[in-house]
């Protein structure tokens, strides 16, 4: 349970920091500078939002894979005993 709380805390910390991150390629940076400060911040927020979705899906799939592998190993260990 402590490990889960630690992982949750670290994840929450990264999510809080994501609001201040600048996630722009060189083309997006040029476009944002032409749009102005307010629209540039909106563009940056959209980039971070779009980046979050695939990372969440990949993390969920990785967790499910890890859990099923762990269950298989536990089942094999019980079978051998």
Residue pLDDT, tens place only, 19-68: 555 556 777 777 777 888 788 788 878 888 888 889 999 999 999 999 99
Residue whose token pair is 């722009």: 24
pLDDT at 78 over 70: yes
How is the chain split into domains, by residue range?
Answer: 18-80
- Give the model's pLDDT for residue 6: 86
- Top pLDDT among 17 and 69 is at 69
Give the residue among 14, 40, 30 at the shortest CA–CA distance from 6. Answer: 14
Cα–Cα distance for residue pair 24/50, rounded to 1 Å: 12
What is the pLDDT at residue 57? 95
């Amino acid at each position: 349970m402590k490990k889960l709380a630690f992982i949750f805390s670290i994840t929450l910390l990264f999510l809080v920091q994501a609001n201040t991150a600048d996630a722009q390629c060189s083309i997006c940076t040029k476009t944002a500078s032409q749009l102005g400060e307010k629209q540039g911040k909106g563009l940056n927020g959209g980039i971070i939002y779009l980046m979050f979705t695939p990372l969440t899906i990949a993390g969920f799939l990785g967790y499910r894979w890890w859990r099923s592998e762990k269950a298989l190993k536990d089942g094999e260990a019980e079978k051998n005993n």
